[in-house]
Chains A and B, each alone.
Chain A
Amino acid sequence: MNNCQRLLISTLLFLPSLMIFADCGTLRGTGDLLLIIERMTGSVVIAETTNNTKLCQLTGLGDLSHASVVYSRDQRYAFVFGRDGGLTKIDMLLGQINKRIIQSGNAIGGAISQDGSLVAVSNYTPGGVNIFSSETLELVAKIPTPKSSKSKKSRVVGLTDAPDKRFVFSLFDTGEIWIANMSNLKKPEITKFTGIGKQPYDGLITPDGRHYIAGLFGEDGLALLDLWHPEKGIKRILGNYGKGQKKLPVYKMPHLEGWAIAGNHAFLPAVGQHKVMVVNRNDWTQEKAINVHSQPVFAIGRPDGRQVWVNFAFPDNDTIQVIDTDTLTIVKTMTLGKGILHMEFTPRGEQVWISVRDKDQVVIFDTQSFKSVNTLNVIKPSGIFNTSRAHKIGL
């Protein structure tokens, strides 16, 4: 029995014999729990944000480089998508692996459906999307992708859930965006948009579930799809950003998850430039570009929208910057150690958890005073995922 079970087993009041291991009688919820990926060791840490402590570590999750997590709507189960095609369902309360399967040779991420019943995984090898029952992890549907010039099935990126039983994703090799309507599980209905632009590398959906946006690596701008009006097709936005400027080599692809929105503005990391773009949300035009320390990887908004925290690509990944969305200026720059890979806010944003890979640390900051409030030892931490994601479209 691990620590986590010892701490959490007390919720199983119907098993009094086990309660000798626990501080008896302490029922707990899961709303303050989070999961930290330990990418080198194939393990995860369950921690909590009320007292900022680690609860337990679970091992045996395979290759967790680039791993990501979604949560069941009851916030009890985490679904971890591993690089090696592993899909692991974790019971956050018991601190146990509930079920684990290898669903492909190489995967990049996943999503959970609006009603929580389906978990979808986007794959590189072979390309395509596999869809599972979130209850049993049994395969429910397979969506193969077309072959690209290299006669391999196109790789899938930017997979997200959307309202009305839909998943939306992009095809890196063939430059497409697909909507999969899962109303009929036996026969998902696919709407395809081709020629959306070269090499979409990631995608996101706005928090209201209306707009899907794919970032393009192979050309300027982003591809926008209005899910209220799919018949209008794809619109290219920000096509002019970066025009006439020499693109810098990109040592790490930016991520479009963690959409930062404040008032009328959306904030996006620019590809191959030392800039965070400020976009007008109504007409999707660029209003400004904020010069930042290096090439941004994540630009993540504090839940109230007042700040956007930015981390950077190799070799400048030891620095973090905070943009004030009111004045559109940088209000804080911190150097925390090499390999700052991810930031995650507490549900209402008073604190932020930051993984610093090369220091084997997760540091927790107060977002108002920028003072460090705690540091946890975690082995080569990467992604951090709060259970509050369970109730957000696109996360």
Chain B
Amino acid sequence: MPRFFSQLVFGICVITAVLINTAQAGVSEQRAKELTYLLHQDCGACHGMTLKGGLGPPLLPQNLINMSVADISAVITYGRVGTPMPPWKAILTDNDIHWLSKTLKAESNE
């Protein structure tokens, strides 16, 4: 019983830590999972599943050095008129877009 109790406490701690972490980025852990999937599958339809480029340019961190998180968010939100890059504001929330932009800047996607 004490063992079960300590495991429970530990479990709660871990969950809270994860929650706090993702909450800082503005999306839930579940949403973060969905967005990661969307990034590779649906953004990946044009940018490549590994984000190394396709019809759209590669989106790995080294490709985005000259763009700030705000720049990236603006492109995702409004798209680029005259190019196939579509606006995502009808589908994604500001929080989603901010999280995606930060993810693109900060993480390697391999």
Residues of A within 8 A of B (CB): 39-40, 63, 65-66, 83-84, 106, 108, 124-125, 155, 172, 199, 201, 217-218, 249-253, 314-315, 339, 357
Contacts and interface: CB of A to CB of B under 8 A. Distances in A.
Given A65-B50, A83-B49, 15 more contacts: A40-B49, A63-B50, A83-B54, A106-B48, A106-B52, A106-B53, A155-B55, A217-B84, A218-B82, A249-B90, A251-B91, A252-B46, A253-B46, A314-B42, A357-B41
B86 interface: yes
A315 B52 contact: no
A215 B87 CA distance: 21
A339 B49 CA distance: 14
7 contacts: A65-B49, A83-B54, A106-B52, A106-B54, A172-B55, A249-B87, A250-B86
Closest A-B pairs by Cβ, 8 of them: A65-B49, A249-B86, A314-B42, A252-B45, A249-B87, A251-B86, A250-B86, A106-B53
Given A125-B53, A199-B84, A201-B55, A249 B45 contact: no
A155 to B, nearest CB: 8
B49 A250 contact: no
Q: Is the interface of B mostly helix, strand, loop or mixed?
A: loop
A226 B46 CA distance: 30
A30 to B, nearest CB: 29
A201 B84 contact: yes
A250 B84 contact: yes
Chain B contact patch, size range = 20 to 34
A83 B48 contact: yes
A124 B54 contact: yes
A357 B90 CA distance: 23
Interface string B52-85: 1111000000000000000000000001001010
Interface in B14-35: none
A249 B87 CA distance: 7
B92 to A, nearest CB: 10
B54 A108 contact: yes
Nearest to A338: B41
Interface in B89-110: 90-91
Most buried by A among B48, B87, B91: B48
Contacts of A199: 84
Given A125-B53, A201-B55, A315-B91, A65 B86 contact: no
A84 B87 CA distance: 27
Most buried by B among A65, A199, A201, A253: A65
A155 B53 CA distance: 12
A65 B48 contact: yes
Nearest to B84: A217
B53 A251 contact: no
Most buried by B among A106, A172, A201, A249: A249
A124 B41 contact: no
Given A106-B53, A124-B54, A218-B82, A251 B45 contact: yes
A40 B44 CA distance: 11
B107 to A, nearest CB: 18
